[in-house]
Amino acid sequence: MTRRTFLKTGLTLGLGITAKALGIMPAQAKESGRMFQVTKTDEEWRQILTPEQFRVLRQEGTERPFANKYDANKDPGTYHCAGCDLPLFSSDSKYDSRTGWPSFWKPISEKAIGTKTDWKLLHPRTEVHCARCGGHLGHVFDDGPPPTGLRYCMNSAALNFVPASAR
Ligand SMILES: [Zn+2]
């Protein structure tokens, strides 16, 4: 816990690059897996997820734009985590970002998701994951519509849509 707090503080202070250079980041990512309410081994996850869901949720993969399940879905309902079924996003905050991925301007609750800085590309991005199982969902950007100005750019493979009529 102390180490994680230290790392978080370091990142907040903009020392992420130093942490990355020291090779601390991957260790932190592994450790963070243990603080979630729902934890499984990779083998257990493989048994309940499709290969595409596993690639996205557990290996931080990104699915192809436009050729995915929920990009164009306009039905009323709730998008749950495909890993642990936690409700994450409502169709009420879904909008067409024209990026080819399902996009939302807010999650159902701030508590439903967690974020961390992703250094995979040259510029840092904010990674978004499920707060309950740690499954990777996508990224959040600040070019979304009002009232939040945020764009939660999600992978369909990380989500299960539950139509409002099914509840
Ligand atoms: Zn989850």
Q: What is the DSSP track for 84-129?
A: T--EEEEGGGEE--SSSS-EESS-S-GGGEEEEEE-SSSS-EEEEE
Residue 124 neighbours by CB distance under 10 Å:
15
Report d(CA 125, CA 119) in Å as an integer.
Answer: 7
Rounded to the nearest angstrom, the distance between the alpha carbon of 84 and the centre of ligand 1 is: 4
Domain boundaries 40-166, CATH class: mainly beta
Confidence of residue 25 (pLDDT cuts 50, 70, 90): very low
pLDDT band at 10 (very low <50, low <70, confident <90, very high): very low
pLDDT of residue 11: 44
User: What is the model's pLDDT at position 122?
Assistant: 87
pLDDT band at 165 (very low <50, low <70, confident <90, very high): confident
Beta pairing partners, 71? none
DSSP classification of residue 69? S
Beta strand pairing status for 136-141 and 125-130?
Answer: antiparallel
- What are the tens digits of pLDDT across the range 53-82? 999 999 999 999 999 999 999 999 999 999
Is pLDDT above 90 for 108? yes
pLDDT band for position 83 (cuts 50, 70, 90): very high
Mean pLDDT of 22-45: 68
Pairing, β 77-81 against β 125-130: unpaired
Taking 50 as the threshold, does the pLDDT of residue 18 lie above it? no
> What spacing in Å lies between the alpha carbon of 18 and ligand 1's midpoint?
30
Distance 129 CA to ligand 1 centre (A): 8
**pLDDT for residue 22 is more than 80:** no
Q: Which residues pair with 55 in a beta bridge?
A: none
Span 95-99, average pLDDT? 97
> What does the pLDDT read at residue 95?
98
Positions annotated as catalytic residues are 153
What stretch(es) of the chain map to CATH 2.170.150.20?
40-166
**pTM to 2 decimals?**
0.79
The answer to whether 108 touches 5, Cβ cutoff 8 Å, is: no
Beta strands across the sheet bearing 113-118: 94-95, 103-104, 151-154, 136-141, 125-130, 113-118
Q: What was the pLDDT predicted at 34?
A: 55
Q: Ligand 1 centre and the CA of 3: distance in Å?
A: 24
Render pLDDT for 119-152 as a digit per residue (tens, 0 to 9). 988 899 999 999 999 999 999 999 999 999 999 9
